[in-house]
Structure formats: structure tokens, C-alpha cells
């Protein structure tokens, strides 16, 4: 009887991240839709799983998406991931620990066109790419890395992992149009303090840009 009682207690404890054996953490993570990050120790992973309810409070927002990218080892802070919305708003984490959200807009790069091809100046933001379709829809976003991430290439493990993170953390109403990595040079419209704009000369979009498609067009 004592042995059976001990087994029952252990079974209950195995469902608690702070008490669970190492081989149970992956199952808890699957249940909470929080996969282990590369290089994350058992103790670090258990701590993050225990805080799952706080994590899920931010899911569906740019802040939640950026924080999960940071946890999974993607660059963050001043030279890290930037979420760009088609309406001209951008979001980025600062360099503090824990990080806070930095927001701004890139109104100097407005080129939004109406259905006739004119630029009326009444629509905020810019066109991601006319090939993507509806330029009148605001709920579109992409991710920009202003400094090269060599492991982030088409078909790479990091590209697949990033797309999985976006699917988990993006707003359900928004469409994700992929990742742009500035390999060399300055990005068109970024940095906001010294951006290339229409008519300013120079190379738009950086000297070399690497584009990574989303897994699916949401």
C-alpha cells in the first residue's frame, strides 16, 4: 500500500514542472505548447513551463512574439528582431533584462497605393510587395533582422523554428509575409533614424537582403 501511495504521489508530481523528472518536461511542454529552446537546461525549461500562464498572456501580440523569439535564441534588442506592420508601426525589444517593448513608426517611408495605383497619402505605411495581393489590408506584418543572422536561411532549421514560433504567437487576425534579413548595408526604411526614403538615393533594402518565406500564407 505504501509503495502504491508513493507511486501515486510521484505521478502527480510528474505533472508539475518544478518537481517533474527531466524526461517528463517535454511532455509538459507539448501540453502547454512551449517547446524547449536550443541550449535550455532542465532547470531553465522547468522554470519557463511553470510560468506558462504569464507567457500565454502575451501571445497574439508583437510583444509576445518578440519575447518568444528571444527565448529561442534569435537576436533581440537594438540589432535584433523587429516586427513591422504594413500600417507603418514597428515593434522591437529594448536591451534591458527583462526586456520592454519599443514602438515607433516609419511614416517617412509611406508608399501605400490605392486600388488604382495612386498614392493618395491617406493610407499609412507601405507596400510589402504587390505580388502578395491586397494592399488595402492593414493586418499584415513581417519580421526584419537589421543585422545578418547566418543560420537563418531558406530551408534551415532556424527558419522552420521561426515559422513555428510565428504560427504559435502571431495575432490570429493578421497575415505573416515572411522574414527579411539585412546581410549588408542599410535597410530601406530602417534604421528609423537614418533610413533610406523615396528619392534619397542609395540602395533600397540594404545592399544584400535575404528573404525567407512563411511556412504558409495565413
User: Which candidate, 99, 194, 117, 106, places its Cα nearest to that of 142?
Assistant: 106
Give the residue-averaged pLDDT of 204-210.
66
SS3 of 212, please?
strand
Q: What is the pLDDT of residue 54?
A: 81
Nearest partner of 81 among 185, 179, 214, judged by Cα: 179
- Averaged pLDDT for residues 24-43: 81
For residue range 102-118, list pLDDT tens digits in order. Answer: 998 776 666 666 556 66
pLDDT digit string, tens, across residues 140-169:
889 999 889 999 999 999 999 999 999 988
Compare 6 and 161 and report the one with higher pLDDT.
161
pLDDT > 90 fraction of the chain, expressed in percent and rounded = 22
Look at residue 217 and tell me if it is in a domain: no
Residues 134, 63 within the same domain: yes
Cβ neighbours of residue 156 closer than 8 Å, sequence gap 6 or more: none
Query: Phi and psi dihedrals of 103, rounded to 5?
Result: -125, 160
Considering the domain architecture, whether residues 87 and 185 belong to the same structural domain is answered as yes
Q: What is the value of pTM for the model shown?
A: 0.74
Whether 76 and 173 map to the same domain: the answer is yes
Structural domain for 173, as ranges? 58-212
State the pLDDT at residue 191.
Answer: 52
State whether 1 and 71 are in the same domain.
no
Residue 198 to residue 205: CA distance in whole angstroms: 11
Q: What is the pLDDT of residue 82?
A: 93
Direct distance between the N- and C-terminal alpha carbons of the chain, in angstroms, rounded to an integer: 54
* Least-confidence region, from 25-34, 54-63, 192-201: 192-201
Q: What angle do CA 126, 128, 129 make, to 5 degrees?
A: 120
Q: What is the DSSP string of 51-118?
A: THHHHHHSTTSHHHHHHHHHHTT---STTS-EEEETTSEEEEE-SSSS--EEEEE-GGG-----TTS-
| Maximum average pLDDT range among 46-60, 85-99, 108-122, 173-187 | 85-99
Q: Which among 57, 79, 105 is the end of a domain? A: 57
Judgement on whether residues 102 and 204 belong to the same structural domain of the protein: yes
User: Are 32 and 103 in a shared domain?
Assistant: no
Residues 26 and 62 both lie in one domain: no
Q: 53 with 145, same domain?
A: no
The closest of 150, 153, 132, 144 to 189, measured between CA atoms, is: 144
The CA-atom distances, in angstroms, between 11 and each of 20, 24, 30, 42, 186 are 9, 10, 17, 19, 55
Answer yes or no: do 64 and 45 share one domain: no
Q: Is residue 177 part of a domain?
A: yes
Amino acid at each position: 500500500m505504501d509503495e502504491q501511495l508513493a507511486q501515486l504521489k510521484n505521478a502527480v508530481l510528474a505533472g508539475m514542472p518544478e518537481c517533474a523528472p527531466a524526461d517528463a518536461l517535454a511532455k509538459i511542454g507539448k501540453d502547454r505548447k512551449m517547446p524547449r529552446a536550443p541550449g535550455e537546461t532542465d532547470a531553465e525549461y522547468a522554470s519557463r513551463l511553470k510560468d506558462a500562464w504569464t507567457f500565454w498572456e502575451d501571445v497574439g501580440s508583437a510583444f509576445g512574439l518578440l519575447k518568444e523569439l528571444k527565448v529561442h535564441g534569435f537576436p533581440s534588442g537594438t540589432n535584433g528582431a523587429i516586427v513591422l506592420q504594413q500600417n507603418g508601426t514597428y515593434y522591437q525589444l529594448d536591451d534591458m533584462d527583462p526586456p520592454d517593448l519599443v514602438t515607433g513608426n516609419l511614416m517617412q517611408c509611406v508608399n501605400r497605393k490605392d486600388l488604382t495605383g495612386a498614392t493618395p497619402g491617406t493610407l499609412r505605411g507601405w507596400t510589402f510587395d504587390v505580388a502578395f495581393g491586397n494592399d488595402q489590408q492593414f493586418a499584415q506584418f513581417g519580421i526584419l533582422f537589421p543585422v545578418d543572422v547566418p543560420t537563418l536561411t531558406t530551408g534551415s532549421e532556424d527558419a522552420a523554428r521561426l515559422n513555428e514560433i510565428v504560427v504559435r504567437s502571431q495575432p490570429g487576425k493578421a497575415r505573416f509575409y515572411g522574414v527579411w534579413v539585412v546581410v549588408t548595408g542599410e535597410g530601406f526604411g530602417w534604421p528609423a533614424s537614418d533610413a533610406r526614403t523615396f528619392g534619397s538615393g542609395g540602395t533600397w533594402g540594404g545592399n544584400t537582403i535575404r528573404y525567407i518565406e512563411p511556412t504558409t500564407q495565413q
